[in-house]
Every structure is written in structure tokens, then in C-alpha cells.
Amino acid sequence: MNKTPITVAYGDGIGPEIMQATLDILTAGGAQLDIETIEIGEKVYLSGNSAGIAPEAWESLRRTKVFLKAPITTPQGGGFKSLNVTTRKVLGLYANVRPCVAYAPFVSTKHPKMDVVIVRENEEDLYAGIEHQQTPEVVQCLKLISRPGTEKIVRYAFEYARAYGRKKVTCFTKDNIMKQTDGLFHKVFDEVAKEYPDIENEHWIVDIGAAKLADTPEAFDVIVMPNLYGDILSDVAAQIAGSVGLAGSSNIGQEVAMFEAIHGSAPRRAGQNLANPSGLLLGSIMMLVHIGQSEVAERVHNAWLKTLEDGIHTYDIYDEAVSTEKVGTKEFAQA
Amino acid sequence: MNKTPITVAYGDGIGPEIMQATLDILTAGGAQLDIETIEIGEKVYLSGNSAGIAPEAWESLRRTKVFLKAPITTPQGGGFKSLNVTTRKVLGLYANVRPCVAYAPFVSTKHPKMDVVIVRENEEDLYAGIEHQQTPEVVQCLKLISRPGTEKIVRYAFEYARAYGRKKVTCFTKDNIMKQTDGLFHKVFDEVAKEYPDIENEHWIVDIGAAKLADTPEAFDVIVMPNLYGDILSDVAAQIAGSVGLAGSSNIGQEVAMFEAIHGSAPRRAGQNLANPSGLLLGSIMMLVHIGQSEVAERVHNAWLKTLEDGIHTYDIYDEAVSTEKVGTKEFAQA
Ligand SMILES: CC(C)[C@H](C(=O)O)[C@@H](O)C(=O)O
Ligand SMILES: CC(C)[C@H](C(=O)O)[C@@H](O)C(=O)O
């Protein structure tokens, strides 16, 4: 098998540890990767580049088109832009896919049957970054929804459902209040849904939909929603499935795709071999499927599940129900 | 005791039933109320008044300054404005207070120790209702945060905490992305918090804060947040505490205050004596405290708790753990 070129960023905080652990596991699992490493995050910001990423790094990303990214730290203050948002925007990563799955009984959860995929719009909404101060006492931020942007994300959600044999796509908006913006999102959802008669569709107002999701997540399958709701509710869903530490995500564009954990860089836990690489590992498994190494993906996923089943956990997931407690790197050498 | 004048709206759907039940209980509990009834909602909308409320009704509200409101229905389509939003705006009801309390073991919940009060800003944010279509394919909505508006709501949250002996006020924003708007909210929170050294304060980014709330609500006490987050997360919190059907809320202004259930008018269940009046009843108990009839409030609240403890529930809350199932009106004649 030819090696697939990918771009890797080790990130900040716990980033380097969990990236090393993840790459070790992928190699052990037989992944064929040709790795280009780039510098992003804290060091780049502090060197005066407010985007947190160097021009050469963009070149690598445009060349390999596949990006495995560890969490990074944006320094406080100083008007640094969020690199996550910059990357999504510059590379046109319009779909943020976040599977939130319970691994009961191996990871404790109140929702053992949960298996929800949140498909979050990733470029528009309040994330367009248009803010201004109107008077000294009044500030505004623009929420933007476009028809092409919405069509792209909704169609992605239905295509995803079809590809992965899922039965239903739900849409969340607040169109009883935001009749034009969320109204457009809902309307496009209804239009696109008609092209997929094999897949059930429904719409919930986001407040009561979120309540239902937090209480009875088994009621949902794939959920598509505007950016900000997706940001909040994917954290909710991942957490009640087990832990935000156990969720990976893919950020899909027309050309480039980026894979990451959904959690942050946890600087206080860095360098202590405490971190759980599972989120990034699950992101990297999505990457293997994306680059056509599905067999390796399955092998690595099974090894990971086996590790959970054996009760081997990092301290964040460790629980009475579990037999051994292990640190990040060591644990995953065993898989 | 003198009777306190209040304005009452019976609303739509299940509104009339639960209002009648609520008023019967308040009367049985010894509440001294001089009731003015107004027409709002569906009928008023359909008579051509797109605000859903008649001029005489505003007069009554300005006179009594206390409004007990049943859920209403906004007809689909036709560009009708949300009466909830109109009322909040016209009457300057800046604080929306939503206690989310578990009544375990009498109402089943996965979070038996939960006791959270969400203080939701009620006039600004994306609810300012400023939307427009920029091109045929692009629509925008303005999110607005002001310093005076934020000071008012944050101060209200701390005053509330002090008055009700609560220990901590938490603030949720997304100021890592919306640095100016949510940034202002967070900044004002930090400033106002300094005036209340007796009360603990903390800030969470709303995504991970929401995840924590959905997973470990016992970690929170009072939470103050901008309008839209408060809309979504108060539904989440109420639902995981037991049911959105069991939450009441107050909408506080400088002069007028409005009390209601947080749920909607459920038109499909109307007229069947199925509805649970608890949300509106809890709203009316907040009203009794507000108008200085705290003794009656306590009596009614205890009677309601006793009813729950006796296992008497409407169908929506009924559960194995419960002995009798009863319909709305009858159940509450017993209290
Ligand atoms: C770090 C932040 C910019 C980011 C977001 O808001 O999208 C994060 O919360 C996420 O969900 O990936
Ligand atoms: C009905 C709707 C306008 C309202 C809101 O969004 O505020 C409701 O959801 C609420 O929470 O009171």
C-alpha cells in the first residue's frame, strides 16, 4: 500500500503527548502515512503571527489535503484570532461532524443507548466574526446565514446519513424568533429533505430540541444545525454520552479535511502523562476512513474498544466500574 | 388583607384549563387577588392585530403591574410577531428567572440534587428582532449587547442570589469567539461581581458550561447569561430536572412583572383535562412572593409538594414510581 501524505500539528498543552500516542497507535495498527509536521498555535502566535499559523503550513495543507490536528492554545488578550475558526474559513471546512456515542458499560453514562451524530455548519452564523462597537455602550455581532452555505451542510448531513446507514436527519433552528436567518436554514432543510425520501426528516425548535437531546438522546440519529447551536450542543451531547474527552470530529471541505479531538489543550495537565488520547484517536480513525484506509481504521477502533472493555482508562474516565487505571501513552502501547 | 389587583390572560390551547386550575388553587390557598382578565393570543392575532394584544390590555398591565399569563399560540405564517417577545420588550421585562429544581424521588430525574436558577437576559441579544435579507441568498440577524442592559441583568442575578441565600453566580458566554459582544457581557459580569464579595462568582465558555450543566447540574447555583443561551439552556435545565412541564418563570421589569409557565400552549392536548398546571402554578407562586403574599405562597407550594409526594401526577409526569394517575383539575382540587 502506498503511503498517504498527511499534515500533522502537535499543538499545545497536552497536544504533543496525545498526538505522539495517537501516531504510535496508528503505526502499530498498520496505517500507511507519510507525515509532514507543521507548527501552529501558541508559539506561532507569540512570534507575532496573529493567525497562529505560518504561510508554509498553509502550503503543506493545500498539498496533502489531510490535516490531523492536536488541540492548540490561543494566548489570552492581544486580539489573537481563533486558529480553529481561521482554519475552517481559509480551507472552506464547511461541515463539522461530531459523533457522540455511548460506550456503556465500559464508560459510565446516564444514556447508554446514545448514538447521535451532530453535523454542525462550520463557516457561517455568528462565527463570521463581524462585530463592531456602535456606541461606547452598544456592541453588535452579525449572524449570517446563506442559501448556498445551508444547502451544502444540509446535503452533507443527508449524504452522511445515507452513507452510514442512518435513518433520520433532524434539524434544529430557532425560526420562531429568527424568521429570516434560521427561517432560511429550516426552509432549505425542508427542500433538500425532499431529495432523500429514503431518510426520515424532522425539525425541532432548538430550545426544546436541546432539552430533548439532553434528556432522551436515543430519540435522535443525525442532527444538522447552524454553527453556534452545533458548538454548544455537540459539547452537551459528547459529555452526556460519556465525556467530551472521548469525542473526535472531522471538519470537511470541498478539498481539504481536518481531523481533531473536540476538547481543548488543557495546559494545566500538560507533560504529566495524564491526558486521554481517545478524542484525537477517534478523530484519526475518521481520517483513516477518509483516506481509504478503512481496514486499518477498523483494526485501530477495535483495539481501542478492547482497551475500554478491559477497563483500562486514563484518570479522567476512571470509575469504580473499572479495573485498572493507566496513563495515556503506556495504555495505548498495549492496544 | 387587601386584595392585590393582577392582570390575567387565559391564553390558548391548554392555557384556559391550567389557568382555571391555578386560580382555583390560589383561591383555595387564601390568595387575595382582584383579577382583571385580558384577551391575548390567537384570537387577537387572527382579528388582524399582529402584536397579539389589544391596547386596553396594555392599560390593564400598566395599571396592575402584575401579569399572570397562560401559554399562547402564535398562528403560523402571516408574519405574526411573538407576543412573548413583544410583551418583554414593551414592558421592559429585562430579567427572566427560571428555577430548575429536582423533586426527587417524587418526580423521576437523573439529577436528584439539582437546584439551579437560570437568570436569562430578556431584551437584547439576537432577540432584538433586527433581521434583513442582504441579497436573495444571504440573510443577517443582529446580535446586540449593551452595557446598561448587561449591568441590569448581572446585578439582578447577584441581588437574587443574596435575597435567596444562594452562594454562587456563574456567567456563561462565548467570548472566545464573540470578543466584543459576549466579551462585554463577561467584562461587566466581572465588574459587578466585585460589588458582591459575599457571593462566589465564575465564568464558563457556554459550550463546555452547557455540557457541564447537562451532566453535573449540582455544580451550579445561579447562572446568568445572554438571552439566546438562556432560552436554550433553561429548557435543557428544566427538562433534566424533571420536565419542562414543571417549571415556572418570572419576567421582571422596573415596574411590571409577568409570571408564566416555561412550556407552550400544546394545542393538541387542549380541552382534554390532560394538562399539568404545575408550571403555571409555580409561576403563580413566584407571583405571590412578588406581591407580598409569601405566606399564601408557602401554603400553596407545600400543598403542591404534598400532592407530588402522594404520587398524584398528570399523565406527562406519571411513572412506575407513582401510585395514582389523575387529571389536571381534579388533582388540584385535592391540594
Ligand atoms: C475553540 C473554539 C473556537 C471552538 C469553536 O467554538 O468552534 C471549539 O469550541 C469547538 O467547538 O471546536
Ligand atoms: C416562544 C418563544 C418566543 C420563547 C422564547 O424564545 O423566549 C420561549 O421559547 C421561551 O423560552 O419563553
Q: How many domains does chain B have?
A: 2
- For A292-332, how does the pLDDT look when each residue is reduced to its tens digit (9 = 90+)? 999 999 999 999 998 888 877 766 655 444 444 444 555 55
Query: What is the identity of the amino acid at B207?
Result: D
SS3 (DSSP) at B45: helix
Query: For chain A, first and last CA: distance in Å?
Result: 23
- For ligand 2, atom 7: residue with the closest CA: B231
Nearest in space to A101 (alpha carbons), one of A125, A117, A85: A117
Q: Is residue A124 part of a domain?
A: yes
Q: Are residues B218 and B252 in the same domain?
A: no
From B207, B212, B229, the mutation candidate for ligand 1 (largest count of ligand atoms within 8 A of CB) is B207
Provide the edge-to-edge strand list for the sheet that holds A4-9. A33-38, A4-9, A66-69, A257-261, A248-253, A93-101, A115-121, A222-225, A168-173, A200-205
Residue range of the domain that includes A27? 1-99+242-335
Q: Are residues B139 and B226 in the same domain?
A: yes
Q: Are residues B237 and B251 in the same domain?
A: no
- Chain A: nearest CA to B132, how far in angstroms? 7
C-alpha B196/C-alpha B174 separation (Å) is: 23
CA of B96, nearest ligand number: 2
Q: Are residues B41 and B25 in the same domain?
A: yes
| pLDDT over threshold 50, residue B327 | no
Q: Are residues B81 and B139 in the same domain?
A: no
- For ligand 1, atom 1: residue with the closest CA: A84
Reported pTM: 0.94
Per-residue pLDDT, A37: 97
Per-residue pLDDT, A323: 43
Q: Is residue A164 part of a domain?
A: yes
Atom of ligand 1 nearest to the CA of A231: 11
Q: Are residues A127 and A234 in the same domain?
A: yes
Per-residue pLDDT, B323: 43
Residues within 8 A of B (CB atoms), A 92-151 only: 110, 126-127, 129, 131-133, 136-148
Contacts of B176 in chain A (CB under 8 A): 74, 82
Contacts of A231 in chain B (CB under 8 A): 174, 207
Q: Are residues A84 and A115 in the same domain?
A: no
Residue that finishes a domain, picked among A241, A273, A300: A241
A177 lines ligand 2 (CB under 6 A): yes
| pLDDT over threshold 80, residue A1 | no
Q: Are residues B234 and B252 in the same domain?
A: no
Residues within 8 A of A (CB atoms), B 30-89 only: 74, 79, 82, 85
Residue that finishes a domain, picked among A241, A256, A289: A241
B177 lines ligand 1 (CB under 6 A): yes
CATH number, domain with residue A264: 3.40.718.10
C-alpha grid cell for residue B297? 405562597
Q: Are residues A25 and A128 in the same domain?
A: no
**Considering chain A, what percentage of its residues have pLDDT values greater than 70?**
93
Q: Is residue A219 part of a domain?
A: yes
Q: Are residues B325 and B252 in the same domain?
A: yes
Per-residue pLDDT, A320: 45
CA B277 / ligand 1 centre spacing (Å): 40
Q: Is residue A105 part of a domain?
A: no
- For A27-48, how does the pLDDT look when each residue is reduced to its tens digit (9 = 90+)? 999 999 999 999 999 999 999 8
CA of A247, nearest ligand number: 1
Per-residue pLDDT averaged across B224-245, rounded?
A: 96
Q: Is residue A317 part of a domain?
A: yes
CA B96 / ligand 2 centre spacing (Å): 11
Lowest-pLDDT range of A74-78, A105-109, A111-115, A220-224: A74-78
Q: Are residues B173 and B253 in the same domain?
A: no
Chain B, nearest residue to A130 by Cα: B178
- Chain A: nearest CA to B126, how far in angstroms? 8
Nearest in space to A222 (alpha carbons), one of A191, A208, A201, A194: A201
Q: Is residue B105 part of a domain?
A: no
- Chain A: nearest CA to B207, how far in angstroms? 4
Helix (H) or strand (E) holding A250: strand A248-253
C-alpha A239/C-alpha A206 separation (Å) is: 18
DSSP string across B228-274: HHHHHHHHHHHHHHT-GGG-EEEEEESS-EEEEESS---GGGTTTT-
Q: Are residues B231 and B124 in the same domain?
A: yes
Residue that finishes a domain, picked among A241, A263, A282: A241
Per-residue pLDDT, A81: 82
Per-residue pLDDT averaged across A229-234, rounded?
A: 98
